[in-house]
Amino acid sequence: MIIHFLLSVAILQGNWPPPCRPELPIGGIDGITMRSDADEPLPFVKLTFIPLDPQPSSGRSSSASRSFQVTSNPMGDFRRLLPTGRYFIVADREYYVHREFFRTGPDMPPEAKSLIIVCGGAQSVRLAMDPNPSIIGKVYGPLGQPLPAATVQAYQLRYTPYGRELHLAATELAQENGQYRLFRLDPGYYFVSASFSRAALQPWRSVLEFSPNLSNPDDGYSTIYYSGALRSENAKPVNLLGVREAANVDIVLKDSRYFKLKVKLLLPQSTARPMLNPRVAILPTGSDLGIAANYPAIGRDANYSQDRLLEGDYVLVALADFIDADDKTSTAVISDTVPVRLSEDTEIPITAMYPLDLLGRLTSQPNSSIPRGLRVRLVRVDRNAQQTVAVDVDTTGSFNLLDVGPGTYDVYLSGTPRNSFLQDVRLSNADRQFGQIRIDGKQPERFLEEATGRWQSILPLNVVMNLQSGNAVGRVMDAAGQPFLEATVVLVPASAAARLRTDRYFKVIAHTGEFQIPEVPPGRYIAYAFQRLEQDYYFDPDFNARIASRGVTVDIAAGPGRQMDLIVVTTDALAKLLQ
């Protein structure tokens, strides 16, 4: 506390840097953060200064506890006092690639130099940040003609506890010459598709005004994935890892086959509030259900069809409108999602149900008051579509999730205080997974509230927050027992039920060979340290099965945690394990 006070006084008095003193050996660093592509200042870059030299013990073993931070101002300028020694700098800003400056270590080139802070002196540095990579290209028709207003989408391959899934990362319309540009993509692998049809243009018509001379796509062409595939599993990935220039991806659409899709919507018989405008949406696979209303099928009276639907993969879902007590109209999902691979004329029934209200109660262990800002989130567990339903929790712990449609959902709690975790989620489902609920025509038990005409769960959704988490602390070493800098440390839950929860996995970078992972729910974990690891790879069940022999089993209890030592799995060793 005394050191922080003296540092603050030195800055306020304008003594930059303060004179070197034996009792306070500090120096200064100042500089500017820049855009590497425009040679202009870049504001609001978060800079973390991480020491490479051993520091005096503060009673905590985390390397992060000895780091120092500053954020560049609106002009890109920054200034910070630091204890003397060697440092490297970690720089982060949204839409820019994570950068590290002055880092030395076993995988760094010999010419890399650490930043040295001299007592009583000031270093000036200029730090350039690269914008996140982008994908550019053109969309052509079967005859080689550019296709303006073609919809281009980039999907990122993500690893989840349920396997690998594609998530929509960016979407754009091709310009007049068929050219497109997908900006601000995180480093990683992407699958890029292009679509050109009336259905593909429909979501854009509510937000854009099209030129009168735009050619009518009519039924258009089937969605094509780069390079030339009708199905995403046959697509060629675009690598945006470690690249600074835009990747060029041209897509040529093909003459397509068309098929007829008929849907019979089976509506429930009930005295509940009126189900207005029931309908079926035909969406591209992987879509968010929030945009389902933009993809309506044609029909009424429970019969819907599309006579000329392009060959490809789709997901079907039923929707309906409801009027609440304030005469406001809202749209709700009234069926499970139904995947369809259309390669012939197809007829499908879809069973609808009234959405359900879930009244809930949040409690904390040990018993304490409920802080403001907590939100309960339901995240749909579905390979075919995405959806998140969220609601605020009041200070009594009560919440009400309205009009939850059928499906399986993971339950999460966000906005939690420090050292807390989601301990339990419980509804009346006998076959529930940990932290997961299922809504369908049979579960949970419900009743019809006659005054409102709304279906409600008989039992509340009980969510328990625990305020006594644990800590994982330790060191990462190489095979010779020396500290290994910049390793990725991962905790994977040992329990099969917990492995289906993304919030039970933890990852941290051990910059100086030491690490601390706070707010870990007590329990048994498998700990790993990797020289380098692709983002989110540790969620993948197949990956975890193949690397199990290199992990260390640890039991995390509430409190500060016991020291663990991990031997790093080098990139070469990991490649051999995955062969």
Q: How far apart are CA 371 and CA 312, in angstroms?
A: 48
- What is the per-residue pLDDT across 423-446, written as a single tens digit (0 to 9) for each? 999 886 555 678 899 999 888 999
What mean pLDDT comes out for the span 55-66? 48
Q: Could you tell me which of 272, 314, 321 has the C-alpha nearest to residue 297? A: 314
Q: How far apart are CA 338 and CA 262, in angstroms?
A: 13
Q: Could you tell me which of 563, 559, 557, 572 has the C-alpha nearest to residue 525? A: 557
Q: Could you tell me which of 430, 397, 427 has the C-alpha nearest to residue 411? A: 427
State pTM to two decimals. 0.76
Q: 356: which strand partners?
A: 404, 455
pLDDT at position 217? 63
Residue that the structure tokens 């039992």 belong to: 459
- Other beta carbons within 10 Å of 575: 9
pLDDT at position 242? 72
- What is the per-residue pLDDT across 296-344, written as a single tens digit (0 to 9) for each? 888 877 888 888 888 888 999 999 999 987 888 999 999 999 999 999 9
pLDDT at position 404? 96
The CB-based long-range contact list for 560-564 (8 Å cut-off, 24+ gap) reads 560/471, 560/473, 561/470, 561/471, 561/472, 561/473, 561/516, 561/520, 562/473, 563/61, 563/473, 563/474, 563/475, 564/472, 564/473, 564/474, 564/475, 564/527
Quote the strand ranges of 175-236, DSSP E: 179-182, 189-196, 221-225
What pLDDT band is residue 565 in, cutting at 50, 70 and 90? very high
DSSP 233: G
What mean pLDDT comes out for the span 31-48? 92
Give Cα separations from 428 to 48, 432, 458, 462, 563 (angstroms). Answer: 47, 9, 9, 10, 40
Q: Is the pLDDT of residue 266 over 90?
A: yes
pLDDT at position 4? 41
Q: Could you tell me which of 180, 77, 171, 102 has the C-alpha nearest to residue 137? A: 180
Q: Among 115-124, 237-246, 524-533, whose mean pLDDT is lowest?
A: 237-246
As a whole number, the mean pLDDT across the chain is 86
Pull the structure tokens for residue 104. 């030395």
Pull the structure tokens for residue 69. 């931070």
Pull the structure tokens for residue 321. 């409108």
Q: Among 118-122, 263-267, 269-273, 316-320, whose mean pLDDT is lowest?
A: 269-273
pLDDT at position 210? 65
Q: Is the pLDDT of residue 59 over 50?
A: no
User: Is 193:155 a contact under the CB 8 Å cutoff?
Assistant: yes
What mean pLDDT comes out for the span 204-223? 68
What pLDDT band is residue 63 in, cutting at 50, 70 and 90? very low
